[in-house]
Amino acid sequence: MRNTIFYLVLTFCFTVSSQAQKSGAGQFKIAFYNTENIFDTIDDPNKSDEDFLPGSKVAWTSERYNHKLTNIARVLVGIDSINLPAAVGLAEVENIMVLNDLITKTQLQKGNYQAILEEGSDPRGIDVALLYRKDLMQYIGHQAFPSALSFKTRSVLYVRLADAKKDTFHLFINHWKSRSGGAAETEPQRIENAVTLKHLTDSVMAKNPNANIVIMGDFNDEPDNKSLAEIMHAGQTDKKPSPSRLYNLMCERFLKGEGTLYYKDWDMFDQIIVSGNLLIKKRKGAYILPPYAYIFKPDWILYKNKKGELLPNRTAGSKEYFGGFSDHLPVYTVVNY
C-alpha cells in the first residue's frame, strides 16, 4: 500500500513538474547579503586590512578565513538548497580572489556561479559584488560607478543579466556610507549616495519605462529615512503599482518591527527595491508576488544574548573571535516567469 501511495505521489509531482516546464512557468531567487568583512590573509599595502592578518588582534588565519567562506556559503545555500539563488549581491568583500574561493572551494561550487567585483575607493578596501548562476542567467554587461564624489566610498555595481525568457534585469548593488560618527552627522553622505543612484536608475527608466530594475544593498538607512523615501522615492508596495516607480519590498516587514541587524534595536538597513513593472503579474514576463521579500533568519545563524534575545551571530568583534556568520541577515525575493 505504501509503495502504491509513493508511486502515485511521485507520478503526480512528475506530471505537475512536466506541465510547468511545458507552460514555461518557473521562478528564481535574487538575494543580498552583507557578509561582514570577507578578507583574505594577505597584506595589501593599498588597503586598511591590518585587522585581518595573522598577526592582528583577532588573528585572521587561513583556518578562520576558510571557516568564514564555509559559513557564508552555508547561509546562501540555506536560502534554497535545491535551487540556489540565481543572483546574489554581496557587501564587504575585499577582492575578486576571495569571491573565486567562495564559489569554487565551498558548497557553492554546485551553483555554477560567476563572480563580478570592481575595486572602489573605500579606505577599508571593502567592495560590493555580484554572483550569478551561469546556467540560469545570461550575462549582458556590467559597470561600476562612484557612488559619491565628495568622499571615498564603495562604488555602485550595475549589472545587466537576462533570465531564461530573455527578460533583461538591471541590478544595482550598493553599500552606502555607514552611521559611524552619528546618524545625523553622516546623513548628507547617504543622501549623496541616493542622488547618485537615483540618477542611474532614472537613466535606465528614460530608455525603457518598463525596465526590470532590482536595487539591493546595505543602505545604512531605514526605509522611511530621507535618502530612500524622499530622494529615491522608494515607497511601500500598493495594489496598482506604476511600472516606472520604485517600490521598497522591505517596507511591510520594517513596519512590523523586523530588521536585518541589531544595535540596541532591530534596524532594516538591508533592502531590496524594485521597479513597479516587476510587481505587475504578467502572462509573459517576470513578476514578483506578495509577500514580495523575505529575511533569512534560521536559528542556526543566530545566538542568544544575555537577555535571551536571538541576534545575528557575527564573525568577530574588535578584540574577540566568535566564529559566526555575519552581523547582518540576508534578504531575498522570488521572481516568477
- Antiparallel, parallel or unpaired: β 261-263 and 265-267: antiparallel
Local structure of 193: helix, strand or coil? helix
Is-contact 142 172, C-beta < 8 A? no
pTM of the model: 0.92
Same domain membership, residue 270 and residue 175: yes
| pLDDT over 80 at 284, yes or no | yes
Same domain membership, residue 277 and residue 249: yes
Q: Which three cell numbers stand for residue 147?
A: 557612488
- Antiparallel, parallel or unpaired: β 246-248 and 270-275: antiparallel
Same domain membership, residue 162 and residue 123: no
pLDDT digits (tens, 9 = 90+) for 317-327: 988 999 999 99
Same domain membership, residue 260 and residue 168: yes
Q: How many domains does the structure of the chain reveal?
A: 2
For 247-281, b/e burial (b = at least 16 CB within 10 A) is: bbbbbbbbeeeebbbbeeebbbbbbbbbbbbbbbe
pLDDT at 34: 98
Please give the helix or strand (H or E) that residue 78 lies within, else none: helix 62-79
Same domain membership, residue 248 and residue 192: yes
Within the chain, what is the greatest distance between any pair of CA atoms?
Answer: 72
pLDDT digits (tens, 9 = 90+) for 192-224: 999 999 999 999 999 999 999 999 999 999 999
- Look over the chain and give the mean of its residue pLDDT values, rounded to a whole number: 93
Give the residue numbers spanning the domain of 76.
26-136+297-327
The arithmetic mean of pLDDT across residues 95-100, rounded, is 98
